[in-house]
Chain A
Amino acid sequence: MQNNRAIDVSVGLFILLGLAAMLVLAAQTIGHGKMNSGDSYLLAARFDHVGDLKVRAPVSLAGVPIGRVESILADPIDFQAVVMLRVDAIFDALPADTTAIIESSGLLGGKYVALEPGGDSEVLKDSDEILLTQSSISIENLIGKFMLNGGSD
């Protein structure tokens, strides 16, 4: 009987430890989900070129993440990329002339969307479109231009 209890206790400990380990792994990786838990609203932005911007890439304001890229689609009529941005609801006073810029974090880092507020008194509401955008800068193109200019000088 005593032996049985020892077995039960160690099985219980084993399963608790396993579940705790799973919880730790889930908690450490859940970073993505936190953003979607609160209220949020959608903004659209059109870009000529999105580079390798990915869905769920961060949307940042002054370098601080305030949202995620919800979807990236190509418009079949005007041939531009339509990027839907999900922004935290407490940032509901972004001016209508806010600029959306696709930037990359570091030389090898991933792409993200940076929002730069303008000075308009009108604010962006849910499903509004950001009219001022700046496409992703391709390092390959920059190097190409630099090399061509270097040759002509």
Chain B
Amino acid sequence: MSSAIRDCWISASRFAETFGSFQLFSFRVLPHLAKALRRPGLISEQLYFVGALSLVLIMFGGLFVGMVLALQSYNTLAEFGSTGSIGAFTAEALVRELGPVVAALLFAGRAGASVASEVGLMRATQQIAALELMAIDPMQRIVAPRVIAGVISVPLLAAIFSAMGILGAHFVATTLLGVDGGEFWAQISERVDLYQDVLTGFFKSILFGMSASLMAVFEGFYAAPNAAGVSRAATRTVVISSVWILLLDLIVTSLTLPGT
């Protein structure tokens, strides 16, 4: 009995320790972000690895999610005879919620895990220690470019996800379900608001990109310097950043909920 309580206490304090050191790590990265902008070559290299290589996954993800949304909403909307609102419904859901959130989750799984294992392997093979020996700050050289690339990539990926989703929904609605294409687009432009929906989604995805990439470099940076540690870092990155993204989404959505 007392050992169970002690285990709980140990894991709670370990959680607090990890959470605290993550916050401190984030604050330590901040001043390096501006300095890292002076090396655009490093950022563009990371943009390729975390952004361009995630493109295919995001495009297919968006396409299929949009198609499924159109199919699922059709039955309910058909009951009210308003199948023309499929466009507005899917566009609103994609732009506000699914685009930023699912794109960030896919990003965490695809790019976050690879960044975490890459940085973790650098730690394990003492490349980070070597950089420090040469008086090169690994924060500036390794961590900051990856965080900046994540902050740039995720909003772009989310926009691509939403756009592909709307195209997929348009395809399903017009060819399979026989909805009028003109009404589809008209309802979108009438119901989806640039500021309230599109820009809210954009700011959300910046936030998600920031936290997912910070989590990935943090886990990699402090990974145990062995094979098990690297794989543990990759797994923890995906699990923690997924939960963290969903929690942040809940907080941001309830704060920015449009009033009546």
Contacts and interface: CB of A to CB of B under 8 A. Distances in A.
B52 A29 contact: no
Contacts of B189: 28-32
A24 interface: yes
B194 A19 contact: no
Given A10-B48, A14-B55, A28 B185 contact: yes
Contacts, number: 76
B188 A29 contact: yes
Contacts of B55: 14, 17
A126 interface: no
A93 interface: no
Contacts of A89: none
B95 A15 contact: no
Contact of B156 (A7, A19, A26): A19
Interface stretch (B7-15, B135-143, B158-166): B158-166
B95 A18 contact: no
A92 to B, nearest CB: 26
Contact of A18 (B82, B91, B155): B155
A30 B224 CA distance: 50
Interface residues of B, number: 32
Contacts of B47: 11, 14-15
B57 to A, nearest CB: 13
Contacts of A24: 163
B235 to A, nearest CB: 27
Interface string A45-87: 0000000000000000000000000000000000000000000
A40 B124 CA distance: 67
Nearest to A106: B82
Contacts of B162: 21, 25
B48 A28 contact: no
Interface residues of A, number: 22
Interface in B133-185: 152-153, 155-157, 159-160, 162-164, 166, 185
Main secondary structure of the interface of B (DSSP, over half): helix
Main secondary structure of the interface of A (DSSP, over half): helix
B100 to A, nearest CB: 12
Contact of A25 (B51, B95, B153, B185): B95
Interface string B178-220: 0000000100111011100110001000000000000000000
Interface in A1-46: 7-8, 10-11, 13-15, 17-19, 21-22, 24-26, 28-33
A8 B159 CA distance: 21
B44 A8 contact: yes
Contacts of A18: 155-157, 159-160
Contact of B192 (A29, A33, A108): A29
A10 B82 CA distance: 42
Nearest to A15: B156
Contacts of B202: 22
A33 B195 CA distance: 11
A28 B52 contact: no
Given A11-B52, A17-B55, A29-B198, A108 B156 contact: no
29 contacts: A7-B44, A10-B48, A11-B47, A14-B48, A14-B55, A14-B153, A14-B156, A15-B156, A17-B160, A18-B155, A18-B159, A18-B160, A19-B156, A21-B156, A21-B159, A21-B162, A22-B156, A24-B163, A25-B95, A25-B159, A25-B162, A26-B198, A28-B189, A29-B188, A29-B189, A30-B189, A32-B189, A32-B194, A108-B80
Interface of A: 7-8, 10-11, 13-15, 17-19, 21-22, 24-26, 28-33, 108
Given A11-B52, A29-B91, 7 more contacts: A7-B44, A19-B156, A21-B156, A25-B166, A28-B188, A29-B197, A30-B194
